[in-house]
């Protein structure tokens, strides 16, 4: 079985999908040359400009044209070069793509995938490091996924492209070359809306996704070896719809809950998960539900010291886990 990076998994999956289905097309800024992260490198030569299409620097038009293409029988994959720049396209995504099935009483659907590299830890500064997933998890009609391993990158991207409705596909850019793993050559899909238990332990449960999920696993191993505390670590993988069954089942099993994400703490996904557990698993709790998120500042700083202050880390997560375990 081939070992690939997250970035290689994304590129090879798009290639495999386009070879299988002539209705799939790709558009975005500089995608013909491979894009800023080289996620589409080599695809122009194989599929030509009718299917690999550079666009102007106008995210609203990238998504708007993709919506029109999807309504006319194509399956576009739209690339937003950095998730930070998705904001001009939010009206197209929320007012149009998310509502097509609802407004047409099911007569129309909008099969569209919007890929958006997100997150900090690369010294990208103000406009190249944001986590904007919560903007879209609030909107019914959209599915939002955030895989963090090469295996999941392939399985969830295939599921997203095959989905009849719009999917926002967040790729944490720090994991592109950092994370490697085995990826089967044959096609497979991972169902959207299904979390994965990455580690099992009886003392507390940690929920996370993206880059922070890998930090949670490292912190859990540290606590196990230094403190004898065993943590269950759940990779949410899909942020909308949430896997309520796995969340409640694993929360009830330990009674102590920590939710970790890179997005700002206030209004982040952690609040929704905490409310879900408090409403449906309150009697099982043995302590307060804790959240660890980014501080409520407007953006991830460029300065490396301030960026480190903003970002989650295995040490910060381990400290929060110790506090929770001792409660």
pLDDT in tens, 241-286: 999 999 999 999 999 999 999 999 999 999 999 999 999 999 999 9
Q: Is-contact 176 122, C-beta < 8 A?
A: no
Q: Give the pLDDT score at 26.
A: 98
Distances (CA, A) of 315 to 59, 112, 164, 320, 322: 37, 39, 41, 9, 11
Question: What span, in angstroms and rounded, lies between the C-alpha atoms of 79 and 196?
Answer: 26
Q: Please report the pLDDT score of residue 1 as a whole number.
A: 87
Binning the chain into helix, strand and coil, the percentages to the nearest 5 are: 45, 20, 35
Residues of the chain scoring pLDDT < 50: none
Torsion sign, CA atoms 180, 184, 187, 188: negative
Q: For the chain, give the mean pLDDT.
A: 97
pLDDT tens figures, 160-192: 999 999 999 999 999 999 999 999 999 999 999
Alpha carbon distance 132, 297 (integer Å): 13
- Return all residues near 6 (Cβ < 8 A) that are at least 6 apart: 148, 149, 150, 153, 171, 172, 175, 176, 177, 178, 179, 180
Backbone angles phi, psi at 262, to 5 degrees: -85, -25
Q: Which of 317, 309, 293, 323 is nearest to 219 (CA)?
A: 317
Residues designated catalytic: 128
Sign of CA dihedral 116, 139, 271, 152: negative
Q: Specify the pLDDT at position 300.
A: 94
Within 10 Å of residue 286's Cβ, how many Cβ atoms? Answer: 12
Cα–Cα dist 77/248, whole Å: 33
Q: Is the pTM of this model over 0.95?
A: yes
The pLDDT, as a whole number, for residue 50 is 95
């Amino acid at each position: 079985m081939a070992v690939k990076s997250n970035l290689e998994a994304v590129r090879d999956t798009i290639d495999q999908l386009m070879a299988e289905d002539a209705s799939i097309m790709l558009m975005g800024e500089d995608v013909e040359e491979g894009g800023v992260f080289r996620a589409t490198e080599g695809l122009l030569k194989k599929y030509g400009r009718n299917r690999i299409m550079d666009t102007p620097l106008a995210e609203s038009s990238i998504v708007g044209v993709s919506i029109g293409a999807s309504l006319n029988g194509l399956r576009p994959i739209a690339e937003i070069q950095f998730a930070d720049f998705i904001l001009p396209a939010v009206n197209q995504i929320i007012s149009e793509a998310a509502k097509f099935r609802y407004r047409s009483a099911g007569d129309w659907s909008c099969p569209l995938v919007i890929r958006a590299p997100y997150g900090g830890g690369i010294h990208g500064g103000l406009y190249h490091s944001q986590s904007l997933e919560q903007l879209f998890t609030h909107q019914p009609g959209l599915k939002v996924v955030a895989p963090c391993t090469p295996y999941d990158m392939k399985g969830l991207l295939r599921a997203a492209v095959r989905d009849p409705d719009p999917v926002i596909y967040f790729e944490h850019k720090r994991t592109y070359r950092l994370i490697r793993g085995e990826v089967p050559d044959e096609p497979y899909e991972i169902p959207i809306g299904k979390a994965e238990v990455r580690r099992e332990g009886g003392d507390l449960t940690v929920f996370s996704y993206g880059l922070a999920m890998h930090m949670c696993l490292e912190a859990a191993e540290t606590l196990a070896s230094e403190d004898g505390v065993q943590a269950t670590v759940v990779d949410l993988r899909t942020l909308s719809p949430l896997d309520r069954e796995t969340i409640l089942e694993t929360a009830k099993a330990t009674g102590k809950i920590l939710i970790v994400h890179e997005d700002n703490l206030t209004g982040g996904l952690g609040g929704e998960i905490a409310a879900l557990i408090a409403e449906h698993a309150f009697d099982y709790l043995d302590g307060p539900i804790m959240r660890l998120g980014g501080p409520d500042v407007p953006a991830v700083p460029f300065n490396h010291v301030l960026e480190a202050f903003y970002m989650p880390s295995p040490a910060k997560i381990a400290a929060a886990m110790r506090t929770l375990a001792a409660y």
